Structure 1
Amino acid sequence: MDFHEILVLAVFTGVYLGMALGRWPALALDRTGIALCGAIVLLFFDEKTGASAAAIDTGTLAVLFGLMVLSAQFAASGLYEWCAARLAAAAASPAAVLALVVAVTGGLSSLLANDIVVFAMAPVLCQGLVKAGRDPRPYLFAHAGAANVGSAATLVGNPQNILIGEHGNLDFWHYLFFAAPISLAGLAAVYLVVLVTWRRALHHDTTAAGPVFAPPGIALDKAVLVKGILATLTLLGLYMTDLPRWQSTLLIAGVLLISRRLSTREMLASVDWHLLVLFGGLFVVTGALSGSSLNAQAIALLQAGGFSLEDPALLGAVALAGSNTVGNVPLVILLLSALPGLSPAALYSLALLSTFAGNLLLIGSLANLIVAERAKREGVRVSFLDHLRAGVPMTAVTLALAFAWLALWDF
């Protein structure tokens, strides 16, 4: 092993260890900073490592950026807060409110970035549920679980699906036809699991008094909302054409930025720049590894052992382990970089399994962590063990449904 390979392997190991731990010991670097520093080191020694900015998948970043702008349009209209407020104020039984939380969250997350959906909705949901005399925790677990499972329905529902769709040049509508039914079944599973595992807390909830309404102070900006809806419908129409998805998404983002009411600064403030930088850094790190002989040797060892990630069972095991250690986004970037020849069937399976697997642990997906952090700021503690209580059965049931679905499709 020469200096080039040692350096690439050392940086890769350090970066992905940081992804698993969430930070480097004694340093304030988070996952984004770790990925960025790793990319900088490899680019500095580019002649030795072969690292290049060309490894960055600009198409994926363009789609992700454009969808963040679209989601920012809905956030500016007050849609997310309005939905959360109405859910929390619903004069209905705990079981009915739980069902509404799952349905609304899953629906919004299927077309809009699920991380932004939970970021905006979780605090308002927390506030309203506490005021209504309900324990917010089961509803928050349903909120996070539904955001993950619902986002699996499309190629634009979450960052890893965007990456997979762009990498494989997958058809938006064909994937929707494949994934929507099992995603709906998964949402039903999320609801039933939380209903059963948190039945005591739900049983002791008090029913909110009064009619179903949005509390004062939270109103929809209808003009901004209508523009967002029209933009979404137009984007879905463009996805039916031969225009590359990244061009379609950027076009819509550009149209949304042209506004008389919402400033560019306001719109761009809602873009998750940290996530975009994380993607860029990981693209460079994994690109350097895939360009080395280490990657070829690892693939040869897998093949010699009779292992193939075309097998849904092995892919599911890797997705479950990887999503709950390094995270589903870093895992997907690594797999696509190391195994560029995955078939469309394997990519479909990866999109579904890596997303469902993210519900297992609190650290399994960014949506889970966002809900926990936003709840903490509202005085509601969501512990690792509390999440585990619903996360383990939720993941077991949804993955079992996913494997049955893949078998039905003869994957």
Structure 2
Amino acid sequence: MNITLFIFLMVYLAMGLGKLPGFKVDRTGAAMIGAMAMMAVGSIGAKAAWVAVDYRTIGMLFGLMVVSGAFAESGFYEWTARKVATLSVGPIALLAVFVAVSGCLSALLTNDVVVVAMTPLLVSVTLARGLNPVPFLLAFCFAANTGSAGTLIGSPQNMIAAQELGISFTGFLSVAGIPALLSLPIVWGIVAWMYRGKWTLEHAGVSKERTGTKTEQTPLNIQETCKAIFITISVIIAFVLDVWPKELVALTAAAILLLNRKISSNDVLRRVDANLLLLISGLFIVNAALSKTGLPQNILHHLHGYGIDLNDPLSLFLTSATLSNIIGNNPTVMLLVPFLNSGENVNAVGAALALGTGFFSNLIIFGSLAGIIVVEQSARCGVKISFGTFTRVGAPISAACMLMAAGWIIFLTSHQSY
């Protein structure tokens, strides 16, 4: 048990720090090494390890990543960015457009892929207009995290929670959609207030030698974009009908999009976050190995004695929010979901996980993958977003969104029909 616990703690230490101390091992590497170590020391057998990896979750994640990747390859994201660039509006109205676009796209097309595809484009859009890109990038990132919390397909952690708890698409939307929608004006209002009078390029931390950087434009392929839109709508309808397993729906959609005469399947597949899929697979094994020791169950029993019940939506909301800023939102859901019950308040439990990990992850850069992507890709474009800058704006947004979401969850738990 001691060696199992040690391996588990080292894996989650890497989740929190972003790497294994003393080694050039990132989160994905740590998860895979941890999984292999658990099998090597006999904490879990090879067959049990394979069984621990939930193929349904991996299949749904992969399929939906391919769907989102098809939009990127069709030029849809670049077309959207160019349309935003040509709007004849002032900075505050443009910020509202950024927030709306980010929230809507992330809710439908997986936030991480949207952020990867659009961050460099949005840097170009703002610089071309002589605007400070920082507030626009921050708002885009924050809206991606909060807006994606509203749907089952908005983020990987939502997909994991919904799949493991058996929450339907409409059930998830009914409990998480409204607070996700309400979070968008909160993001816009706070960013607009904090950057009042600081909209011009002279207020930005931009490397002068990079301000003229041009990104290669991909023309919009109308036929492929329409195909991707049709497939996405079909997937949503299938999820709403809830007749077929979600993973089969997502994989069928991916297969149809990969069968293409104009866009190489390799180009679409490179948009899939293989590292994230490996990380989740590794964590399935690591968590299953620790669960065999009985330690997590004992800890939860003791916590329950102190009044902390993870199956209480408000307790889960606060716990998941805290953990998401320590080990990341996806690992948090992976860690907590095996110990949650699919009872009559399962939708409220799902909302607590989604809103907690989605809303509070805006507090620090490493609270979400979207935050890391925006900061790193912006730096490559010559725009520096420091840890302090991110948190200075993210903290009041996180606090306001959390307060609103807590009120919503209290409302849900008082109406057990949810």
TM-score (norm 1): 0.93
Structure 1 range deviating more: 77-86 or 106-115: 77-86
State the 1:148 CA deviation: 0.5
Partner residue in 2 for 1:176: 173
Contact 2:131 2:200 in 1 (8 A): no
Contact 1:72 1:271 in 2 (8 A): yes
Contact 2:311 2:341 in 1 (8 A): no
Contact 1:320 1:358 in 2 (8 A): yes
Check if 1:364 corresponds to 2:367. Answer: yes
Pairing 1:285-364 to 2, within 5 Å after superposition:
285-339=286-340, 343-344=345-346, 345-364=348-367
Structure 1 residues 335 and 259, CA, compared in 2 at 3 Å: closer, same or farther? same
Contact 1:62 1:250 in 2 (8 A): yes
State the 1:216 CA deviation: 9.8
State the 1:44 CA deviation: 2.0
Check if 1:31 corresponds to 2:30. Answer: no
Partner residue in 2 for 1:256: 257
Pairing 1:203-282 to 2, within 5 Å after superposition:
217-239=217-239, 240-282=241-283
Q: What secondary structure sits across from 2:382 in the alignment?
A: coil
Contact 1:360 1:392 in 2 (8 A): yes
Amino acid at match of 2:29: G
Q: What secondary structure sits across from 1:407 in the alignment?
A: helix
State the 1:191 CA deviation: 0.5
Structure 1 range deviating more: 51-60 or 149-158: 51-60
Q: What secondary structure sits across from 2:326 in the alignment?
A: coil
State the 1:204 CA deviation: 7.5
Q: What secondary structure sits across from 2:199 in the alignment?
A: helix
Structure 1 residues 359 and 172, CA, compared in 2 at 3 Å: closer, same or farther? same
Contact 1:70 1:256 in 2 (8 A): yes
Check if 1:56 corresponds to 2:57. Answer: no
State the 1:288 CA deviation: 1.0
Q: What secondary structure sits across from 2:365 in the alignment?
A: coil
TM-score (norm 2): 0.91
Contact 1:77 1:221 in 2 (8 A): yes
Measured in 2, the distance between the counterparts of 1:220 and 1:135 equals 27
Check if 1:147 corresponds to 2:150. Answer: no
Amino acid at match of 1:389: R
Measured in 2, the distance between the counterparts of 1:241 and 1:137 equals 41
State the 1:105 CA deviation: 0.8
Check if 1:17 corresponds to 2:20. Answer: no
Aligned mate of 1:382, from 365, 385, 388: 385
Pairing 1:127-206 to 2, within 5 Å after superposition:
127-202=124-199
State the 1:80 CA deviation: 1.0
State the 1:347 CA deviation: 2.2
Question: What fraction of aligned residue pairs are identical, expressed as a percent?
Answer: 37
Contact 1:84 1:122 in 2 (8 A): no
State the 1:314 CA deviation: 2.5
Measured in 1, the distance between the counterparts of 2:285 and 2:413 equals 35
Measured in 1, the distance between the counterparts of 2:252 and 2:216 equals 36
Q: What secondary structure sits across from 1:199 in the alignment?
A: coil
| Equivalences, count | 398
* CA RMSD, Structure 1 to Structure 2 (Å): 1.8
Q: Which runs of 5+ in 1 are unaligned?
A: 207-214
State the 1:359 CA deviation: 0.8
Measured in 2, the distance between the counterparts of 1:217 and 1:254 equals 27
Contact 2:35 2:285 in 1 (8 A): yes
State the 1:306 CA deviation: 2.3
State the 1:399 CA deviation: 0.8
Structure 1 range deviating more: 29-38 or 343-352: 343-352
Q: What secondary structure sits across from 1:200 in the alignment?
A: coil
Contact 1:286 1:338 in 2 (8 A): no
**Could you list the per-position Cα deviations for residues 375-396 of structure 1 after superposition, in whole angstroms to 9, with x for gaps in the alignment?**
0110000111111111001001
Amino acid at match of 1:192: G
Partner residue in 2 for 1:42: 38
Measured in 2, the distance between the counterparts of 1:339 and 1:182 equals 22
Structure 1 range deviating more: 84-93 or 353-362: 84-93
Measured in 1, the distance between the counterparts of 2:55 and 2:353 equals 21
Amino acid at match of 1:365: S
Pairing 1:39-118 to 2, within 5 Å after superposition:
39-46=35-42, 48-49=43-44, 52-118=49-115
State the 1:26 CA deviation: 2.6
Structure 1 range deviating more: 125-134 or 335-344: 335-344
State the 1:234 CA deviation: 1.1
Amino acid at match of 1:31: R
**Could you list the per-position Cα deviations for residues 122-173 of structure 1 after superposition, in whole angstroms to 9, with x for gaps in the alignment?**
0011012112110000000000001011101101100100000100111101
